[in-house]
Amino acid sequence: MQERIVGRVAGLWRYPVKSMAAETLEAAEVSWHGFAGDRRWAFIRDGMVRSGFPWLTIRERPDMGVFRPRLVDPGGPDGSVTMVSTPSGDELDVTDPALGSLLGHGARVIKQDRGIFDTFPISLVTTQTLASLSAAVGLPLDVQRFRPNLLVDSTEGQPYPEDVWVGAVLRIGGLRMRVDKRDQRCVVVNVHPVTTDRDPAVLRIIARERDACLGVYGSTVQPGRVQVGDGVFLQASTR
């Protein structure tokens, strides 16, 4: 199969609890359901179970992104235990009712082994996209505003290079992923991942200049292991 290199992996993250902080990785196993341990837990708001979007997220509670989860046994089935460090420095098991009480909104935690994703299980953004948007906004933007699994340093020499990968297959280490669609953004990108301050200019500029899309979503074609430094190869178009 013909392929060409289009970049290298510059960063990897998983999010053990939906809308909480990222866990930085040097390498990750990627299955049919995304990164091992990614978004397997989420908190549901009281009275919202039957709604189209029942999750408690940064939209409702901006400081949710400074709660830091970690998998205690990453070698187990998606981590045998998930612990969460709170902003006050306490560490609680994700299933501890005290954590739900601390988050408010009548929140209770659930787990889904297939992952709790808004759209597709893998998200990717490039360093060029971050640089281009930062220039448009007029300030450097932390990658964690956009909560990707993969940060790729592209060799394509154009702004927003991942847009042209939609419909194609990427080989990254042992993983092959199809790039399914552009990632449509919401108000979460306005929230600074450390200070939790909101800047509405971020989403406003993405909406005006990018049709509200930034980065891409993908799904697994062949499970495998990826690590920082892996080459990213464009293999084929599925169209």
**Residue-by-residue pLDDT tens, the chain, 239 positions:** 789 999 999 999 999 999 999 999 999 999 999 999 999 999 999 877 667 789 999 999 999 999 999 998 766 555 568 999 999 999 999 999 999 999 988 889 999 989 999 899 999 999 999 999 999 999 999 999 999 999 999 998 889 999 999 999 999 999 999 999 999 999 999 999 999 999 999 999 999 999 999 999 999 999 999 999 999 999 965 44
Strand positions, DSSP E, 129-230: 150-154, 168-172, 175-184, 213-222, 224-227
H-type alpha helices, 13-123: 97-103
Axis-axis angle for helices 201-210, 127-137 (nearest 10) = 110
User: What pLDDT is recorded for position 78?
Assistant: 56
Query: What domains lie within the chain, and their CATH numbers?
Result: 4-237 (2.40.33.20)
User: What pLDDT is recorded for position 238?
Assistant: 47
User: What pLDDT is recorded for position 77?
Assistant: 55
User: What pLDDT is recorded for position 136?
Assistant: 95
User: What pLDDT is recorded for position 52?
Assistant: 73
CA distance 64 to 86: 9
Three-state DSSP at 236 gives: strand
User: What pLDDT is recorded for position 20?
Assistant: 97
User: What pLDDT is recorded for position 79?
Assistant: 55
CA distance 110 to 114: 12
CA distance 102 to 30: 32
Maximum pairwise Cα distance, the chain: 54
